[in-house]
Amino acid sequence: MRRGGVMSPLNGEQQTTVEALRDAFDQAFAEPFADAGQQGEDLLLIQVGGRRCAVRMHDTGGVRRDVGWTPLPGPHPALLGLARVRSTLVGVYDLATLLGSAASRTPEWLLLTGSRADLAFAMERLVGHKRGVVGAPGADGRQWITVDRELLEVIDLQQLVASLTPVGNGPSTAPAGMDRARRGSE
């Protein structure tokens, strides 16, 4: 202990405490860093249909701004058209419509999916990034996270992609002509 710039000798209890603190400090550097999954997950915060929500970053294939698309009529009300992203034709769907909100008035961003290179979701705005712990699914299956005292829904992109993917020989919800376009580029 310091008194007047001179270190006084430590008694036995103090010496034991100092040694324990030293050992704990050294041990903290000897152990591997804690698993990031225990501390939360990376989320993109987005604006869709006038409301903020979140998507898991590991489910996305990236975001693009101001990517124009060619309008395309189709069987799905959320289908906006086709866009070229990374030399690939992608079907662009209005994310707000898929989530049951009013269609986005001016979607400026495309949210690319990580699982399907031929699908993208149009959204109004990229708000930012947040690392956090997502709550357990509720009775309705939806998950939530609190960001800046606001409760945000965590959108399940994998479930949305699955809802747009035809199963077996059922009717396809993919934009008409996309299969031909893909075959022509192979």
Asked if residue 184 has pLDDT above 50, the reply is: no
Asked if residue 40 has pLDDT above 70, the reply is: yes
Is residue 58 within 8 A of residue 114, CB to CB? The reply is: yes
- Lowest mean per-residue pLDDT among 31-45, 80-94, 146-160: 31-45
- Lowest mean per-residue pLDDT among 23-27, 39-43, 52-56, 92-96: 23-27
- The distance of Cα 162 from the centroid of its chain, to the nearest Å, equals 17
Higher pLDDT, 175 or 47: 47
Q: Do β-strands 41-48 and 51-56 pair in parallel, antiparallel, or remain unpaired?
A: antiparallel
Residue 54 CB burial class (10 angstroms; 0-12, 13-18, ≥19): buried
- Lowest mean per-residue pLDDT among 10-19, 144-153, 164-173: 164-173
Two tokens, residue 58: 């590991």
CA proximity to 44, closest of 150, 155, 136: 155
Q: pLDDT tens for residues 111-130?
A: 999 888 889 999 999 999 99
Instruction: Enumerate the domain spans of the chain.
Output: 48-132+140-166
Residue 128's pLDDT is what?
93
What type of residue is 7?
Answer: M
Phi then psi dihedrals of residue 37, to 5 deg:
-65, -30
Task: Give me the percent of the chain exceeding a pLDDT of 90.
Answer: 33
Average pLDDT, the chain: 79
**DSSP character string of 46-90:** EEETTEEEEEEGGGEEEEEES---EE---SSTTEEEEEEETTEEE
The domain 48-132+140-166 having CATH identifier 3.40.50.980: the answer here is no
Higher pLDDT, 45 or 186: 45
Residue 106's pLDDT is what?
77
Residue 32's pLDDT is what?
56
Residue 30's pLDDT is what?
64
